[in-house]
Structure 1
Amino acid sequence: MYVVLLTYTAPPPEIDYALPDHAEWLTRQYEHGRLIASGRRADHRGEVLLTRSMSVGKLEATLAGDPLLLRHLAHHEVIEFSATRTGPELRAVNEALAH
């Protein structure tokens, strides 16, 4: 599982212009079952994505299609972790229970 931190690197008007395309990209990732949660950071400096477990290569290929990254409007940091404890609503993604 991964936490992806997106940090905007462009002025807000450029980000706002690209957000509809980014929202479509997010929708496709949910449809493919790659994302668990996403949203704008409280400080409005970027976004947080929570992904399902996948290979690093698949994650990087997925992120490469994000319009914010394609247009160089944001950069990302990937944090990999294994979910060993979850609330009941996330039990299906708890990697410790999958084994």
Structure 2
Amino acid sequence: MFIISLTYEVPLEEVEPHMQAHMEWVNRYYDKGVFIASGRKVPRTGGVILARGDRASIEACIAEDPFSAYGVAKYEVTEFTPTRAAEGLESLVE
């Protein structure tokens, strides 16, 4: 499992024009079962995505994000192995 942390590299007014395309990208990977949770950072400096897959497929996925293509955000990818989860989230445990 992976935590993908996005940090904006430009002011929010430069992020907004790419938001719809970014959300279409997010939705596409939810539909494929790769993304399992996501949301904005507080304060709004980027976002976080919880994803499944292997590192190569996650890196390829990130390369498709319009935020990446337009240099809007930088990405930090952390791989971890969930060994415990709260009730109702047991399917996250590997």
Counterpart in 2 of 1:89? 88
How far does the alpha carbon of each residue in 1:11-36 deviate from its partner, in whole angstroms, 9 at most, with x for none?
Answer: 11110111000010000000000001
SS of structure 2 residue aligned to 1:84 = coil
**Equivalent residue, structure 2, for 1:12:** 12
Distance, in Å, in 2 between the alignment partners of 1:59 and 1:30 is: 13
Opposite residue 87 of structure 2, the aligned amino acid is P
Question: Aligned with 2:39: secondary structure?
Answer: strand
Listed as ranges, the gaps of 5+ residues in structure 1 are none
Aligned counterpart, 2:27: 27
Give the superposition deviation at 1:93.
1.9
Distance 1:48 1:59 in 2: 14
Partner of 1:49: 49
TM-score, structure 1 normalization: 0.91
Alpha-carbon shift at residue 55 of structure 1 (Å): 1.4
**Corresponding position of 1:68:** 67
- Residue 75 of structure 1: SS of its match in structure 2? strand
- How many residue pairs are counted as aligned between the two chains? 94
Give TM-score scaled by structure 2 length: 0.96
Q: Give 3-state SS (helix, strand or coil) of 1:89's partner.
A: coil
Gaps of at least 5 residues in structure 2 are none
Structure 1 distance, partners of 2:77, 2:36, is: 15
Q: RMSD of the alignment, in Å?
A: 0.8
Residue 91 of structure 1 and its aligned partner are, at CA, apart by: 1.1
Identity %: 37
